[in-house]
Structure 1
Amino acid sequence: MPVSMYEVSVPVFISMLTAMSHVLKKAQASAKERGLEESVLVEARHAPDMLPLKNQVYIATDMAKGCASRLAGRDVPSYQDVEATFPDLLARIQKTLDYLATFEPDDMKGSEDRDITLKIGGNDMTFPGRAYVLGFVHPNFYFHVTTCYSILRANGVKLGKADYFGQG
């Protein structure tokens, strides 16, 4: 039986965003234990030309809600990108998880071959649904989830591989 577009999107996003929430909760506790202002971790970045932790959360949640919406032919909800604390970021993830829970497998039937057009760098880019999910969304989504984890790890938050999967 072929894998559905729903199976390769919504459950994957739910699993990894739940794990991202777990990692952020551990970071919040770490900041408190170490007497750090939360903003030190929320604004942390790997390099001066990289986006800070909060933006990694913005982009991961945007990828998830955007992908599910486009595959189902729905309008993509807009978030303001103003979250600047761990509670704010956790609320954004939860809002995205709640939104993802509104999708059913039938919502995405036939989307594997439907064209998805995005504006990237001012240019239209069109992908068939399958290529959009597997070749564009997944790499971007995992990059930002992993970067969130690695920024926190590099800043002294005690995280292990199991935490990346929400099990630590």
Structure 2
Amino acid sequence: MTSPLYSASVPVFLHYLDRMDGMVRQTAGREHFLQARIAPDMFTAAQQVATATGFALRVAFPLAGREVPKLADHGMDRIGLGRLMVEARQGLQGLDPTEFAEAHTRLIRHRAGFAELDQTGADFLHLFGMPNFLFHASMAFAVLRQQGLPIGKADFDGLHDYPPGFRF
């Protein structure tokens, strides 16, 4: 039986990394969209993508009882972000589901901004890791959409289906 925390993390991260990769690919010819931000003190769309990508590894690897691998700096353009997401997906695909067997009770010490936290694997995933991953993925979507990239909910989750041109 696959660990519930494996099922709730690695496949979800892989799915949404694919979704973000699709949105970043759509910036071809409009790469300046990646340097936009919603507010002056927020990350750019590119940094939101990179941060979400890093969170996928920052969460999954400790749940598996492993050190978080350092991702290479591929740059913050469309091509570099694509390479970053490929590298992250390969790392996630290399995790064995059996490594997550005791993840729910594993104590994970980590930083949240300036706070030092100790959380069980279950709390780490559900209260910290997944919300942060989805926050940064959502912010990347919001910036790109605000810039005029023709994306919608179906692009974000890959599940919805709407008529051409329908957006909300």
TM-score calculated relative to the size of structure 2: 0.88
Task: Map 1:95-110; keep pairs closer than 5 Å.
Answer: 95-110=87-102
Matched residue type, 1:163 = D
Matched residue type, 2:138 = T
d(CA) in 1 for partners of 2:123 and 2:85? 25
Task: Map 1:121-160; keep pairs closer than 5 Å.
Answer: 121-160=113-152
Runs of 4+ in 1 over 4 A off after TM superposition: none
Structure 2: unaligned runs, 5 residues or longer? 162-168
d(CA) in 1 for partners of 2:2 and 2:89? 25
d(CA) in 2 for partners of 1:25 and 1:130? 33
1:27 maps to 2:19? no
Could you tell me whether the CA contact under 8 Å between 1:116 and 1:128 is conserved in 2?
Answer: yes
Structure 1: unaligned runs, 5 residues or longer? none
**1:165: how far off?**
1.9
Q: Percent identity?
A: 31
**1:2: how far off?**
9.3
Matched residue type, 1:15 = H
The alignment's C-alpha RMSD in Å is 1.9
Look up the SS of the partner of 1:51 in the other structure. Answer: coil
Could you tell me whether the CA contact under 8 Å between 1:20 and 1:166 is conserved in 2?
Answer: no
Deviates more, 1:88-97 or 1:54-63: 54-63
Matched residue type, 1:21 = D
**1:131: how far off?**
0.4
Give the match for residue 104 of structure 2: 112
Could you tell me whether the CA contact under 8 Å between 1:42 and 1:53 is conserved in 2?
Answer: yes
Could you tell me whether the CA contact under 8 Å between 2:106 and 2:121 is conserved in 1?
Answer: yes
TM-score calculated relative to the size of structure 1: 0.88
Structure with larger RCO (C-alpha < 8 A, sep 6+) = 1
Give the match for residue 47 of structure 2: 55
**1:73: how far off?**
1.2
Task: Map 1:31-110; keep pairs closer than 5 Å.
Answer: 32=29, 36=30, 38=31, 40-79=32-71, 81=73, 83-110=75-102
